[in-house]
Amino acid sequence: MTDPAAPNPRVNADHPPVGRGERFREFWYYFSVNRGAVIGVFVFSLLVLVAIFAPWIAPHSPTQQFRDALLVPPPWIEGGRAEFLFGTDAVGRDILSRLIHGARYSLLIGAIVVTLSLSTGIMFGLLAGYARGWVDTVLMRLMDLILAFPSLLLALVLVAILGPGLVNTMIAIALVLQPHFTRLTRSAVLAEVNREYVTSARVAGAGHMRLMFRTILPNCLAPLIVQATLSFSTAILDAAALGFLGLGAQPPTPEWGTMLAEARQFILRAWWVVTFPGLAILITVLSINLVGDGLRDALDPKLKRS
C-alpha cells in the first residue's frame, strides 16, 4: 500500500512496525465495539449472498405472472397462499421473488455509482490538491456548482435529459455524488502534501504519479472509505426515488423503487405490495449506514479512544 521510499508515518520508536494482519485486527477491535456496525455487516453480507444466488433462492421467476393469483395476500392473512410468502402483485407476480432479484439491482447500482464517483473524485481531488493553481480553481468551482443544486433535483433533471433508464440513473447519481469525493480527497491531499514523508519521497526521486498515487493517496483513504459507504446508501435511496418517480429502472424490472411506483395505486387495497419493497430498501440502506457509522468510529483517529 504505502510507498517503500517513504517512511511510514505510523512507524516510529514508540510503536513497532505493524503488519497488515495486525492492522486489520486493530481496526476490527475498534469496529466491533460498535454493536450496530457488526449487525450492519452481517445483514449486508446476507443481502450480498441473496443478490448473488438470487436465481437459486427465489421460489419463482421475477417476471412470471400467475393469472389465477392477482393481489394474493401473504399466507398469514385470510385468502393467502403458502407458495407466495409475501403475496403477489396486481399482475400475479410473486413479490418475494421480485424482491430477491431486486437486491441485485440495488447492490449493483450502489457498487457502480460508488466506483464511478469514487474513482473520478479521487482523480480530480488528487489533481486539484497536488497541482493547485488554475487547475485547482477550475475543478473546485465546478464542484461547487454541482453542489449548488439539490442533488436529487439535479439527478432528476439529468435523467430527464438523458432519458429514463437504469444506466442513465446511475450516471446521473454518480455525477451528483462525485463532488463530495473530490473535495474530501483534495482536502486530505492538502493536509498531507507538505508532510515530511512526502518531501523525502520527492527528494528520493519519486515522480508525480508515484507521489500522488503511491505516497499520498494511501494516507488519505480513511475519510474516503467512510464517504464511499455513505454514498453507497445514498445511491440506492436516490435510484429507488427516481424509480419511484418513473424515471429510473423501467417496468417490468424488479427494481425496488420501480416496484413501489407500480404498487402505488393499490395502497388502500393491498398493503403488502407497498410494504415489502420499501422495507427492503430501508433494511439495505440502514445496514449500510450502520456499517458507515462503525467505520467512521474505527477509522477516524480523532474519535479513537487509545
Interface residues with other proteins (CB under 8 A) are 36, 141, 144-145, 148-154, 156-157, 160-161, 163, 233, 237, 240-241, 244-247, 257, 260, 264, 267-268, 271, 274-275, 277-278, 281-282, 285-286, 289-290, 293
Question: Closest approach of Cβ 232 to other proteins, in Å?
Answer: 12
Question: Closest approach of Cβ 47 to other proteins, in Å?
Answer: 14
Closest CB to other proteins among 37 and 170? 37
Question: Closest approach of Cβ 297 to other proteins, in Å?
Answer: 12
Tell me the three-class secondary structure of 76-110, residue by residue: CCCCCCCCCCCCECCCCCEHHHHHHHHHHHHHHHH
Closest CB to other proteins among 122 and 288? 288
Judged on CB neighbours under 10 Å (0-12, 13-18, 19+), 10 is exposed
Question: Closest approach of Cβ 35 to other proteins, in Å?
Answer: 9
Cross-strand partners of 94: 88
Question: Closest approach of Cβ 62 to other proteins, in Å?
Answer: 20
In angstroms, what CA-CA distances link 154 with 172, 243, 281?
A: 8, 15, 22
* DSSP result, 145-178: HHHHS-HHHHHHHHHHHH-SSHHHHHHHHHHHHH
In angstroms, what CA-CA distances link 261 with 151, 155, 243?
A: 21, 18, 7
Cell of 217: 493517496
Closest CB to other proteins among 43 and 57? 43
**Terminal-to-terminal C-alpha distance of the chain:** 24
Closest CB to other proteins among 66 and 271? 271
Closest CB to other proteins among 127 and 140? 140
Cell of 169: 440513473
For residue 178, give the nearest of 101, 219, 269, 117 by alpha carbon: 117
Cα–Cα distance for residue pair 176/245, rounded to 1 Å: 18
For residue 273, give the nearest of 284, 281, 265 by alpha carbon: 265
Closest CB to other proteins among 206 and 280? 280
Question: Closest approach of Cβ 265 to other proteins, in Å?
Answer: 11
Closest CB to other proteins among 23 and 304? 304
Question: Closest approach of Cβ 105 to other proteins, in Å?
Answer: 15
